[in-house]
Structure 1
Amino acid sequence: MFDVEVPVAPTLVERLLALAGLYTEHNDRIDLLLAGTAAPAPDAYVSSARRLEREALACVKAVRQQRLAPVEPVPSAVVRLKQTAYLTSGATRYLTSAQQSLPTDDAAPARLDRRRGFGQHVRQARELTALAPATVVESTTHFAYRLPAKAHAHTTVPGMDGAQRRSLLMIARGHVAVTGHYEAGSHDRTDSVDTDMLRRLDAQGLVTCDAASAPPFYSGGQPRDRVRLTPLGLSVLSTVIAEPLPAGPPTARPVPAPAATPSARTRR
């Protein structure tokens, strides 16, 4: 018989990190609409919110199936994850109301009033999912500390250090967008991701740059490029999210960086 390569199912931590990324993508799409750089597409927003709600509840069920010890902060992390799902349900209702109140005169997105009608409902929906990416990542960290070893991925890359881990966490939280493909890193509340670090992560195949998918930095500006974790990036972060990196060589089998991935270049 022929050997067939069977895809490996994602671990719980990988699944949660992917959920955080989906929330960031959902929020970005709504932000672009509110910024007047995207056409109204209420059907797509409603479908996206419903998908997020289902996946968040499915993740809650998957966490409970692990039968983690009910010791803080695990119970609180489960509650926050459930709250995220319930808030997403509320966002779905607001987006459904927006769908029903969409102007019939094909008004341009830039003229939508954020204080009433379609624009108000969309803004209210956006507020309910604003903290979802960071909340999911924080909860994931608490779960990962207490999951059994068999529930963890064992993927790593050569040279992974604490600075890379922190950068991957910031990207997972949806805090990193750039202008002109790694020309300038956006700022977190307290930190920033260095442009050289973004190029390094890109060269290792851990992140990718999604062009013009993030809202502009200022009103009337051009959309920015959202930095997202690749499947390899999700797997690597899931391995190191819960504990400091070892001082010595990694015990897990390294995954070589893809040779075909070019480093990002800075415009001049």
Structure 2
Amino acid sequence: MTTPPDPDHAPLFHVVAPVPLTPVERLLALADLYTQHNDRIDLLFSGHAHPAPDAYMSSAHRLEREALACIKDVRQQHLPAIEPVAGAVVRLKQTAYLTSGATRYLTAAQQALPSQDAEDARPDPHRGFGQYIRLARELTALAPLAIVESASHIAHRLSARARNSSTVTGLDAAQHNALLEVARGHITVAEQHGHRVHGHTTTVTAEVLRHLEAQDLVTRQPASTPPHFPGGVPRDRVRLTALGISTLSAVIDAPLHVSLPARCPSPVPAAANATRAHR
């Protein structure tokens, strides 16, 4: 019998992913969970969310458990203990340990929760409640990137069956790169001054993003990240869909290349044909 969810302890986020997950798919889903967790804390500091240290603490606990479960899942694949696979597993362990530290800071934040009258004020990142939340946020800041990079190294040593659970259509270099950036938690969209895509250091065009949305590989979570500038409106986080997770898991370690149409057989030079005809 399934226990109904407790509305007072509802998770901060959910992830849409196929079941059962392969090891690489599970890692990509984990990266997405970290991105959602970080976004909710960022909304708090931007004044677009109410303090909820108990919810943040519960989500950090969940992240830590899932990170450890992913490590166990990878170990069960009996991969060779060579670089860069060994380093990828170490990075996943570090992510779990850092998340444990974030949970402790969030527990301290719960005890330092401001008074009811101060709940609507932005937390001070250098004092009390706000300082604990900031320190916790710093510990999980690079988790999505570390997990996606680890997943890429691990995928390189896995069989196709252990990488993804769906048939993958061709992706060009721009689409492949965009899926990676989405998985890393690097892509948001703002509509305040027209459709604008915001990334980190890699450019993802609106046209590529619209194509991925049309293919049901990515989706947008409205108003889930802070404004790009003070006084602005929250941006939409771009996330992988279930199909996007499965698709990227199959090509995550593939070299960035533009897919080309099938080549026609090369014509035989006329001079060569003439030579053979006279033999």
TM-score range, shorter chain: 0.7 to 0.9
Q: Distance in 2 between matches of 1:126 and 1:79?
A: 21
1:127 aligned partner: 138
Mapping of 1:113-262 within 5 angstroms?
Answer: 113-153=124-164, 155-180=166-191, 183-189=195-201, 191-244=202-255, 247=259
Judge which range, 147-156 or 9-18, deviates more. Answer: 147-156
Shift of 1:247: 4.9
Matched, 1:52 2:63: yes
Mapping of 1:40-79 within 5 angstroms?
Answer: 40-79=51-90
Q: Which amino acid aligns with 2:207?
A: D
Deviations 1:45-89 (A, max 9, x none): 001000000000110111111111111011111111000000000
Q: Secondary structure at the match of 2:223?
A: strand
Shift of 1:34: 1.0
Q: Secondary structure at the match of 2:180?
A: helix
1:94 aligned partner: 105
Q: Secondary structure at the match of 2:254?
A: coil
Change (3 A) 1:71 1:249: farther
Q: Distance in 2 between matches of 1:198 and 1:143?
A: 27
Shift of 1:220: 3.2
Q: Distance in 1 between matches of 2:218 and 2:131?
A: 34
Q: Secondary structure at the match of 1:228?
A: strand
Find 1:80's aligned residue among 83, 87, 91: 91
Deviations 1:205-245 (A, max 9, x none): 11111000012112332211000000001011011112236
Q: Secondary structure at the match of 1:106?
A: helix
Change (3 A) 1:8 1:110: closer
Contact 2:71 2:92 in 1 (8 A): yes
Unaligned runs of 5+ in 1: 1-6, 251-268
Q: Secondary structure at the match of 2:196?
A: coil
Q: Distance in 1 between matches of 2:261 and 2:79?
A: 30
Judge which range, 199-208 or 99-108, deviates more. Answer: 99-108
Q: Distance in 2 between matches of 1:136 and 1:117?
A: 30
Deviations 1:148-202 (A, max 9, x none): 233122534544212111000000000000112981110222x221001111100
Shift of 1:248: 6.6
Q: Which amino acid aligns with 2:156?
A: Y
2:44 aligned partner: 33
Q: Percent of aligned positions with the same letter in both sequences?
A: 62
TM-score, structure 2 as length reference: 0.82
Change (3 A) 1:8 1:210: closer
Q: Answer with 1 or 2: which has the greater Rg.
A: 2
TM-score, structure 1 as length reference: 0.86
Q: Secondary structure at the match of 1:110?
A: coil
Q: Distance in 1 between matches of 2:128 and 2:153?
A: 40
Judge which range, 83-92 or 239-248, deviates more. Answer: 239-248
Q: Distance in 1 between matches of 2:173 and 2:44?
A: 36
